[in-house]
Amino acid sequence: MKSSKVCCQHLRLNPAMTAILALDTSTPACSVALIQDGVVLEDFRMAPRQHNDLILPMVDQILAQAQLSLSQLDAIAFGRGPGSFTGLRISAGVVQGLAYGADLPVVPVSTLAAMALEAHQKTHYSHWLAALDARMGEIYLGGYSIEQKDEFWVAEEILSERVISPDNLTSISERCHGVGSGWIYQDQLNAVLPEPAANVLSDIAPRAACIAQLADYDFSLGKVVVANEALPVYLRDEITWEKQPARIGKR
């Protein structure tokens, strides 16, 4: 199993005293992160089909590392999709239970935007076309411009999220770089860009550290939902989601 534990310095000009836990199980990767006073702690593991077994112990471990209890958090964030049907159900169900038990608001964050943020942090390029392999000959696709506003990371949507066959793509006006597993269709994606992507980071998966950083900004704007509205975004119309009862009691 490949795993990594990192402390990402996210320095602020005016640190806000907030603590947000973030989870992501939308792909074969499984990750948990905590952003507190501008510093991100993360446990990231490439662990296909092990999300159910790993996610709650990883939550306990990251909170213990930060010496925080669940009730001391300000919010919980999660990668709300798009992504794996099963993976999104797992994270949404866990977040619903944790948030309900601790009476915390939830910040849903786009997994595509999270990939764009990581790509920006690795390269400093701002415009990204994020794509995940959706199987069945389709990709999940979205475009983002990454910037910092004061102390926060922000992903501005420049191409709305969609699930689409690469053969049905139409021209995209923005010059973008590429990120995500959906860039296995690199020829088709490059064909609709004003010029081919100069940088393609196809091995980047959504991770909780970037979800936490994007959630920090949304939380500051009050973009939160209550626990039972923490729902996945699948993009495929034929997939429906039934609200799950809270299953995890207050800690």
233 to each of 44, 79, 116, how far by Cα in Å?
22, 9, 18
What would the pLDDT profile of 197-213 be if each residue is shown by its tens digit?
A: 999 999 999 999 999 99
Cis peptide before 82 (omega within 30 of 0): yes
Model-wide pTM > 0.75: yes
| pLDDT above 80 (res 120) | yes
In this predicted structure, the answer to whether residue 241 has a pLDDT above a threshold of 90 is no
Predicted local distance difference test score (pLDDT) of residue 244: 41
What's the chain's average pLDDT?
A: 89
Residue 123 in this model has a pLDDT that exceeds 70:
yes
pLDDT by residue (tens digit) across 31-40?
Answer: 999 999 889 9
pLDDT for res 113: 98
Structure token pair of residue 143: 């475009």
pLDDT digits 0-9 by tens, 217-240: 999 999 999 999 999 999 876 444
| % of the chain residues with pLDDT over 90 | 85
pLDDT for res 240: 40
Taking each helix axis as running N to C, give the angle between helix 51-66 and helix 85-102, from 0 to 180 degrees, rounded to the nearest 10: 40
Contact indicator for 95, 107 with CB cutoff of 8 Å: no
Taking the C-alpha atoms of residue 129 and residue 240, their distance in angstroms, rounded to an integer, is: 26
User: Could you tell me which of 108, 110, 227 has the C-alpha nearest to residue 160?
Assistant: 110
Q: What is the model's pLDDT at position 236?
A: 77
Please write the tens of the pLDDT for every residue from 130-156.
Answer: 999 999 999 999 999 999 998 899 999
Tell me, what's the pLDDT at 237? 63
